[in-house]
Amino acid sequence: MVNRDIAIEKAKKVKFVILDIHGILTDNTLYYTDDGKKSECFSLRDRLGCMALQEGGIGVAFLTSKISRADQQVGQIYGVPPEKLWGTSAKIGKLDEFEKESGLKDEDLCYVGDEMIDLGVMKRVGFAAAPCDGAIEARNVADYVTLASGGKGVVREVAELILRAQGKWEAVVEKISKTG
């Protein structure tokens, strides 16, 4: 069972958020056109979550098995720089590489994942989150389970939790409200 007080304490330490894409930024549904082209649906609420994190001084990266052109386009719309779009099925290896390059430690990181492939990273980082419709295994290891389903504002919800825990939420809302 997730303890909100513990989740808030862990969220206070977050300096960087790593997001799985499928099941977090999307609802895990794939649409195919008659000519075989794939499409997915991404939430603009999550765009605001990514913006809020970055306004609050917290970096954001996408980590998925393979970065598609759609993922690159979403990264651009969400303000995630191309060098923070990570495509690899070796998620633990990428975490090790990122920590070595950035100087950040496990406790500085938040990972948002929803499936078995995410469990290794979720167990290692300082703050792990999962959507309410994520796999039971992911929800069981998460420090926080969102009220939002995948593709329906998970990142926005996690961003608000982190930024409120760090006392930055109101200033971020004020700044973003002036740009919109």
Contacts of 11 (CB under 8 A, 6+ apart): 110, 127, 144, 161, 162, 165, 166
pLDDT digits (tens, 9 = 90+) for 45-88: 999 999 999 999 999 999 988 878 887 888 888 889 888 888 88
DSSP per-residue string spanning 80-123: --GGGEEE-S-HHHHHHHHHHHH---GGGEEEE--SGGGHHHHH
- Segments forming the whole domain that contains residue 55: 4-179
Give the alpha-carbon dihedral of 162, 164, 166, 169, to 10 degrees: 110
* pTM assigned to the model: 0.93
CATH assignment at residue 90:
3.40.50.1000
Counting the structural domains of the chain, the total is 1
pLDDT digits (tens, 9 = 90+) for 18-55: 999 999 999 987 778 888 887 777 888 999 999 999 99
pLDDT digits (tens, 9 = 90+) for 110-135: 999 999 999 999 999 999 999 999 99
